[in-house]
Amino acid sequence: MTEQNTMISENSNDFIATPLPGQERFVAPIDETPVQAVDSVDETKVATSMWSDAWRSLRKNPLFIFSGILILLILFVALFPSAFTKVDPNYCNLPQSLDGPSAGHILGFNQQGCDVFSRVIYGARTSVSVGILTTIIVTIFGGIVGALAGFYGGWLDAVLSRITDIFFAIPMLLGAIVVLQMFKTSTSIWKVVLVLALFGWVTTARITRGSVLEAKNLEFNTASTALGSSSMRNLFRHVLPNSLAPVIVLTTTSLGSYIVAEATLSFLGVGLPTTVVSWGGDISDGQSLLRVDPQVLFYPSLALAITVLAFIMMGDAVKDALDPKSRV
């Protein structure tokens, strides 16, 4: 047998590779390689979670701070409109039709002689109420449907997914217009909320289903099942709380969309009745005065735009905070 590049140790059965000339390797002394210092973990540091990391990121985000201040101001206006104006928004004096700003009426009057500033302030309560109530119903109902479909699978997932596909194929505004026209005899805020929720829950259901499908196969769910926990307890105690991040992002962004949807329905004349003060109704009344007196249309449109923009910016900030890839 010819010369070999390896030799067998007499004291063991291991093969010891003998390097050829020029292939020697340098191994640093153990004192010069502080591996323990590099890999050490500070055990005194308080453990953090995804939610605490997200909150720490949000507190430093100027977009979150700015949108949060706007939303708090809008909510305060919606809850306490009398703190900003003492004028009744439904009191109209026709001789003051299209008059300019005056003492106590800083934005002037609309075509019916109603105070524009008072209607803008009181319109916030209607629009924000519709947006918040619709978002709550959509999140609860769509979240439950998506969670059940994603967690249990099988025939239940097939049935709920097909029902979701049917509603998803119907545009929300078109479906809302048809349903409201069928029951136009008595239109109220709750009817608009329920109609918007009827066609708006499908997106939340789909997002929740996908998130639950990903979370239910993780180790914590397997460990909980091995300890004897029931499937329903696993779903609501472990899986669903760990699937809320994308749902929260969608909820924050969608709230502004529902405010726009209510304004659109009122603008088209199928939403809230004219006796209810809303931004959409005032925009509809002021569209014919765009060339004559554009301020009647401008102020409710500006209030609607600022409100929707605030919720969209909040949604973007929350999405960046809950997305681990966006954090350094």
pLDDT of residue 297: 86
**pLDDT tens digit sequence for 28-82:** 666 665 555 555 666 666 656 667 777 888 888 888 899 999 999 999 999 998 8
Percent of the chain with pLDDT over 70: 82
Residue closest to 141 by CA, chosen among 204, 195, 189, 193: 204
Q: What is the pLDDT of residue 217?
A: 80
Rounded Cα–Cα distance for residues 135 and 132 (Å)? 5
Q: What local confidence, expressed as pLDDT, does residue 9 receive?
A: 43
Which domains, from first to last, does the chain contain? 54-326 (1.10.3720.10)
- Helix axis angle, 116-152 relative to 154-168, nearest 10°? 150
Token digits of residue 319: 């999405």
Residue 186 has pLDDT above 80, yes or no: no
Element (H, E) at 127: helix 116-152
pLDDT at 10: 45
Query: How long is the chain?
Result: 328
Predicted pLDDT at 5? 44
Can you tell me the mean pLDDT for 103-113? 83
* 258-284 residue pLDDT tens: 999 988 888 888 888 878 888 888 888
The residue with greater pLDDT, 32 or 218, is 218
Query: Distance between CA 149 and CA 50 in Å, rounded?
Result: 25
